[in-house]
Amino acid sequence: MIERILDIIKRHKAFLITSHERLDGDALGSELALFALFRQLGKAADIYNQDLTPENYRFLPGSEVILNDLPDISKYDTAFVVDCSDLSRVGKGAEQIAGIGTIVNIDHHISNSRFCEVSYVDPRASSAGELIYRIISRMDGCITREIATNLYAALLTDTGGFHYGSTGKETLLAAGNLVGWGANPQEISENIYENNPLAKIRLLAKALDTLTFDLGGRVGSMVVWQKALQAVGAVPEYTEGFVDLPRSIQGVEVSVLFSEQTDERFKVSFRSKGAVDVERVARAFDGGGHRNASACRIEGDFATVKRRVLDVIKNGI
């Protein structure tokens, strides 16, 4: 599949690059690395995302060019959809993007729907960024400092700082090579992890007040209510990383974050340790992800939503 993608890059001239709603480091780093590659090759390229770039990723090279209004798709012959298990994950504009002549999907989610013919999907990979590294590293002399920085950010964030189970030998070798090509680990880590707005810390304090334990202490969960966001002047992107905290507590095997979206509608994020498969849990609610990290959306009042989630977790823990 890599050879086919390289041939598409060589022959095609105008590219739209996009990723999922609620952007993260893997989505943005992957998009920006591809954008830098295409421009380096003299191709026309744009990045479109439904959502604004989170503040802690705006240091990434090229992030200022990202568009949040979908351009006229007639000018593109190819769309690269990265870190998306399904085209619908793009959000607004997905139907229009489906009309672009050639669609290339690069993804590492086990729940990928293979929504297009040219799909490079490897659930064993740590990140979409790792897959894009494989592609670009096949092109001699193409990895610039800009590309290296963006791909390192992708690998760093989707492996939780290189400590998730998806971190393999190839991941670490890629990270080392990217440092050799100019990525600065300290600068990247400080911008992503040590540059939090005060409102995010205040929101975290409110979320920690909701911390509860179930199933004999093996499940830890928190809730972020809309009223909490409003009280501290926070935005939903500030909840990134919250779901990891209960998992860090001794005895907790599954961590759950319930994020209120609207009345009786919640985004539910899962993290797990070891062999506990939370992708199965998310899939029960038409979500997806990875064995140790997944998410879904569920409608209902909070008590009902939590009970349904715990019932599914109980059967697999």
Please report, for the chain, the start and end positions of each structural domain, with discontinuous segments joined by +.
Answer: 2-193, 198-314
Q: Which residues contact 88 (CB under 8 A, 6 or more apart)?
A: 94
Alpha carbon of 267 to those of 80, 115, 209, 263, 300: distances in Å? 26, 23, 19, 12, 11
- Phi, psi angles (nearest 5°) of residue 291: -55, -40
CA atoms within 13 A of residue 139's CA, in its CB half-sphere:
20
pLDDT of 275 strictly over 90: no
| Cα separation, 4 vs 97, whole angstroms | 21
| Residue 248 near residue 220, CB atoms below 8 Å | no
Label residue 263 by pLDDT band (50, 70, 90). Answer: confident
pLDDT(41) > 90:
yes
Cβ distance 114 to 159 under 8 Å?
A: no
Give the tens place of pLDDT for each residue, 68-124: 999 999 999 999 999 999 999 999 999 999 999 999 999 999 889 999 999 999 999
Sign, CA dihedral 30-33-37-43, equals positive
CATH topology of domain 2-193: inorganic pyrophosphatase (n-terminal core) (3.90.1640)
Q: Residue 248 contacts by C-beta under 8 Å, 6 or more apart in sequence? A: none
pLDDT at 274 over 90: no
Indicate the pLDDT class of residue 165, thresholds 50, 70 and 90. Answer: confident
Tokens standing for residue 47: 């990045």
pLDDT at 166 over 80: yes
pLDDT at position 221, please?
98
What's the confidence (pLDDT) of residue 102? 98
Q: Which tens digits make up the pLDDT trace of 279-303?
A: 999 999 999 888 999 999 999 999 9
Instruction: Name the pLDDT band for 11 (thresholds 50, 70, 90).
Output: very high
Mean of the per-residue pLDDT values for the chain? 96
Spell out the SS3 assignment of the chain. CHHHHHHHHHHCCEEEEECCCCCCHHHHHHHHHHHHHHHHCCCEEEEECCCCCCHHHCCCCCHHHCECCCCCHHHCCEEEEECCCCHHHHCCCHHHHCCCCEEEEEECCCCCCCCCCEEEECCCCCCHHHHHHHHHCCCCCCCCHHHHHHHHHHHHHHCCCCCCCCCCHHHHHHHHHHHHCCCCHHHHHHHHHCCCCHHHHHHHHHHHCCCEEECCCCEEEEEECHHHHHHHCCCHHHHCCCCHHHHCCCCCCEEEEEEEEECCEEEEEEEECCCCCHHHHHHCCCCEEECCEEEEEEECCHHHHHHHHHHHHHCCC
- The Cα–Cα gap between 148 and 297 comes to 34
User: Two tokens at 232?
Assistant: 């501290």
Report the pLDDT value the prediction gives residue 140, as an integer from 0 to 100: 82
Please give the backbone phi and psi of residue 228, each rounded to the nearest 5 degrees, phi first. -70, -40
pLDDT in tens, 168-215: 999 999 999 999 999 999 999 999 999 999 999 999 999 999 999 999
pLDDT in tens, 216-233: 999 999 999 999 999 999
CATH code, 198-314: 3.10.310.30
Would you state the pLDDT for residue 317? Answer: 75
Exposure letters 60-87 (e unless 16+ CB within 10 A, then b)? bbbbeebeeebeebeebbbbbbbbbbbb
- pTM value > 0.85: yes
What pLDDT sits at residue 127? 97
pLDDT (tens digit per residue) in 120-157: 999 999 999 999 999 999 998 789 999 999 999 999 99
Residue 244 is encoded by which pair of tokens?
A: 């990891």
Q: Is the pLDDT of residue 315 over 90?
A: no
- pLDDT above 80: residue 60: yes
pLDDT for residue 316 is more than 80: no
